[in-house]
Amino acid sequence: MKIVFLTGAGISAESGISTFRDSDGLWENYPVQDVASIDGYIRNPELVIQFYNERRKQLLNVQPNAAHKLVAALQDYFDVVVITQNIDNLHEQAGSKKVIHLHGELMKATSSTNPNDPRQIQTLNADNPLIHIGDKAKDGSQLRPFIVWFGESVPQIEPAIKEVEKADVFVVVGTSLNVYPAAGLLQYTNLHTPIYLIDPKPTNVPSWMPVTVIPQKATEGMKELTRYLPESPLL
């Protein structure tokens, strides 16, 4: 059985990762167009680079939580693919093997000129996690965070769609389903594919979709999800 997860900020919030959209989230201090858009980067690359340097330092001080670990544990029994809107690497730290990052990866840097060229992408390490003005990619341009900002295309959406189309079960964890194109992935499930939505906040989903809502935070919701899975080994 193939289980495809779509995860958002809610699954990492329990690890202490600040979210953007909550009342105390990151966008309260930084206007989204300043730090999460390509126009903002062009206007003030130093501000944007520093913003993601701070996010990277925060990531190095947190750990995957029980929800991340439960997702990873299921892959021992099912074919599990994680599609995440998150830029952290907590799914990988928890042991998930198949992870598609729709919005980029915080621990990677790339070229300002050719951000999606695989030859330009480099992984930053914990000993030297910062990007500085003047740091160069292989093509000679300024290194920038490997993040998909507003105003940029989402190269990983096509691979994500292909995985959703093959899903026997589709699980949404910790996302408002307000950000496209990720929110549109539900439309690519097969007509009779069961969908589970784990989020404590009300979320708008089409009434015709076979959605079971589990109104819990990620960890408790993942524990409850196992009750719905056939012959779940984690019960």
Question: DSSP labels for 136-189?
Answer: B-TTSSBEEEEE--BTS--TTHHHHHHHHHT-SEEEEES--S-STTGGGGGGGS
Global confidence as pTM: 0.92
In a domain, 17, yes or no: yes
In a domain, 230, yes or no: no
When divided into structural domains, the chain yields a total of 1
Q: Which residues does the annotation mark as catalytic? A: 103
In a domain, 136, yes or no: yes
In a domain, 231, yes or no: no
Query: How many CA atoms does the CB half-sphere of 187 hold within 13 Å?
Result: 7
In a domain, 198, yes or no: yes
What does the pLDDT profile of the chain (235 residues) look like in tens digits?
Answer: 999 999 999 999 999 987 655 544 444 577 888 999 999 999 999 999 999 999 999 999 999 999 999 999 999 999 999 999 999 999 999 999 999 999 999 999 999 999 999 999 999 999 999 999 999 999 999 999 999 999 999 999 999 999 999 999 999 999 877 777 878 899 999 988 999 999 998 777 777 777 899 999 999 999 999 888 876 665 4
CATH number of 28's domain: 3.40.50.1220
What backbone torsions phi and psi does residue 87 show, to the nearest 5 degrees? Answer: -100, -5
In a domain, 140, yes or no: yes
Tokens of 99: 């992870």
Query: What is the extent of the structural domain holding 206?
Result: 2-225
